[in-house]
Structure formats: structure tokens, C-alpha cells
Amino acid sequence: MTATARRALALAAALALSAASGAARAGHDSVPDVVALRSDYLKRLMDARETVVLVDMRKLSEYRAGHLPGAISVPITELDRRFKEIPRAPRVVLYCGCPREDIATAFVFLRSQGYVNHAVLEDGFDGWMKRRYPLTK
């Protein structure tokens, strides 16, 4: 992500945070308020065939090596120009292997663009892998 894009995302995040109200807390004090889902809960939703749009925000090479079943690839470094590829409904879950601050910034950026039914995978791709849940290549 370019420095200009990072500044734009940070500004959007700051503006959205000042307007945001009562989201669930994910992470620690330096992480903005985000709605988060645990891997086990997401797996139950998927097993129940709930409609969930998964967005893999890792590098394309990492996505190609293995991703959550049905996930689309929108690398976090391209979010500022590709966010419109992410559906606004039904339920959208973002995940990556990045620091919590980065995925939180992506969450807040999407909120600032009018997304309301999205969350982040609290324990990220690594948490999914540790539970040995399925992957697709």
C-alpha cells in the first residue's frame, strides 16, 4: 500500500471512529472498535450453510497457496481501489495474516464507505489454520 493510500485509510478510519457507535471490541487498546467473529463461530455458520462472503486480504500468492473455502481475494494493499468488489450483503468477514491494527483499519475504512454488515475474523488466517479447518487452493 502506498504512503498516500495508508494516509487516506487512516483518515477514513479516524473519521469513521469519531462517528461510530458501540461496535464489539476486538483486540487491545491500540486497535479501533471492530466487529469480530471467532474461527469456531464462523465455522459453525459455514457448516449451517449460512451465506457468508469471505474476503482474504493477504497477498495474492498467499491466497493461491490456500484460503478459506469460497473466499475472494482483495489484498489489503489494494483495498482503497478494489473495495467495491466486496459485496455489501449478506454478511462479510474479512481476514488476513496481518497485524490486528491493519485489519481493523480495513474494517473501519469499509465502514466509512457505507458497509454495515461486515466483521473481521478475530484470530485471522492463523487461527483458522491452528484449528485445522478446511482450506481451498
**Which residues, 6 or more positions from 16, have their beta carbon under 8 angstroms from its beta carbon?**
108, 109, 111, 112
The CA-based angle 121-99-90, given to 5 degrees, is: 25
Query: What cell was used for 38?
Result: 471467532
pLDDT at 10 over 50: no
pLDDT level of residue 19 (50, 70, 90 thresholds): very low
Give the residue numbers marked as catalytic. Answer: 96
Q: What's the Cα-to-Cα distance from 86 to each of 52, 74, 81, 83, 133, rounded to whole Å?
A: 12, 8, 11, 6, 23
Task: Name the class of domain 3-130.
Answer: alpha beta
Rounded to whole angstroms, how far apart are CA atoms 76 and 41? 23
Q: What is the pLDDT of residues 44-84, one digit of tens each?
A: 999 999 999 999 999 999 999 999 999 999 999 999 999 99
Query: What cell was used for 102?
Result: 491493519
Closest Cα partner for 6 from 58, 79, 96, 107?
A: 79
Mean pLDDT of 11-24: 37
pLDDT at 108 over 60: yes
pTM for this model (two decimals): 0.78
pLDDT at 89: 85
pLDDT level of residue 23 (50, 70, 90 thresholds): very low
Q: Where are the domains of the chain?
A: 3-130
Average pLDDT for the chain: 83
Rounded to whole angstroms, how far apart are CA atoms 83 and 110? 7
pLDDT at 25: 41
pLDDT at 29: 47
